[in-house]
Amino acid sequence: MSTIFQKLEWSYSVKTHWFLTVFRFLLGLNLLFAGISHLTIARLEFVAQVPNWVPLSDDLVVLLSGIVEISLGLALVLLPKWKALVGWVVAIFFILIFPGNIAQYVNQIDAFGLDTDRARLIRLFFQPVLVLWALWSTGAFKAYLNRKNHSNKKMKAKIICQ
């Protein structure tokens, strides 16, 4: 029986270029700043983005998402061996919070200087960029595509050792 760590082994110690490391750090620092902002200086701005259909209090959603963003930002910076897995988690997080951006556009809510429909619409197109940034800068997509090669190498090594 394989453990969860064995199943995720393809995402461990993925090699990336130093250039990608710079972008991974930038993304991590941006998430840290955004998360801290959720809890402090921009709390009301973030409350404005919580969709009406979320069954929790707006403030609780902002606090929880801030804590998640701080955690993900720290993980991007401090867990380089697990960067590919963290990249997938960050990408999924960006997808999960996208309804907040859609709600801001649909409900015409002014926040973060997005005070026109055009500005709010343009903002929607940046969310896929964030998803791609997370997958690219961490080598996550490449590692996922190469997971079969990783399994094949492991199998060959096992056969050779026998």
pLDDT of residue 92: 98
**What would the mean pLDDT of 77-104 be, rounded to a whole number?**
95
Identify which has the larger pLDDT, 157 or 40: 40
pLDDT of residue 159: 45
- Per-domain residue ranges for the chain? 4-161
pLDDT in tens, 126-140: 999 999 999 999 999
DSSP 75-129: HHHH-GGGHHHHHHHHHHHHHHTHHHHHHHHHTT--BTTB-SHHHHHHHHTHHHH
Is the pLDDT at 87 greater than 90? The verdict is: yes
